[in-house]
A = this chain, B = another copy of it.
Amino acid sequence: MSQQQSSKTAEAGAREGDRRRTILRAAIDVFARKGYHGCRIADVAKEAGVAYGLVYHYFKNKDELLETVFDACWSGFFTRVQAISEGEGTLAQKLQRITDVVFEAFRVDPRAVKVLVVEVARSPVGRVNRQTAFSDTLKLCSDMLVRAQAAGELREDVDPRLSAMLLFGTIEMGFTSLVMGVVDTKDSDKLEQAKQQIASSFLQGVLTQEAVSEVSWKKEREKSATRPKVAKRS
């Protein structure tokens, strides 16, 4: 079920000298399939169609390999998000673009995205790089939200850092919905709708206008001191 191209027939996808990339690719796949702890070097080698030891020719050890996997998956995402967050446009537009990037990434390389989703955001006792990368991206989004707040786009009563986290949570769970099959990824219409909903859920919430008013009105009486700005909006 696994080794289609074994030993001597492996030249198909690894001709020149980019075995390194072959191995990395294989690592991403195995990683996505089995997770960090379930991913054994032997599996990666087999998946890549190379000898066991060769993995160690290109990567110092398992950790470095998986670190590299992570970097490879994350860096592209980070760069794009950075460009968007620091570029022109309203917060809503940026959010839309970020969601686009995410969905495009999923379309192009669902495994890589799965690695990010499953392993990175919520890694048990994350490795250094991952933590850093996560923090960096958090900072990025946090800054974006701070600017939006200054521009009057983001509600005043919202903590940008926490909000950035919640943004991650929303997007990540959006992914997970794709990965887990909650959303039908074959139907591009459904996919598009899901994309819209993820962005708008974070931006505008899920309530109807009427329900929002109701909330605000009750809030005003119950805890008027806590969230004055929101109350204003009713």
Contact A196 B166 (CB under 8 A): no
A36 touching B124, Cβ below 8 Å: yes
- Alpha-carbon gap, A201 to B161, bound state (A): 13
* Residue in A119, A157, A206 with the greatest tally of chain B CB atoms within 10 Å: A206
A79-115 CB contact bits vs B (8 Å, 1 = yes)? 0000000000011110000000000000000000000
- Please provide the chain A residues from 152 to 206 with a CB less than 8 Å away from any CB of chain B in the complex: 152-159, 161-163, 165-166, 168-174, 176-177, 182-183, 192-194, 196-198, 200-206
- Could you tell me the distance between the alpha carbons of A201 and B205 in the complex, rounded to whole angstroms? 6
Q: What are 22 A-B residue pairs whose CB atoms fall within 8 Å in the complex? A: A34-B124, A92-B211, A92-B214, A122-B176, A138-B182, A154-B211, A159-B194, A162-B174, A163-B197, A163-B201, A165-B173, A165-B176, A166-B174, A169-B171, A169-B172, A192-B226, A201-B205, A204-B212, A204-B215, A205-B205, A208-B233, A209-B233
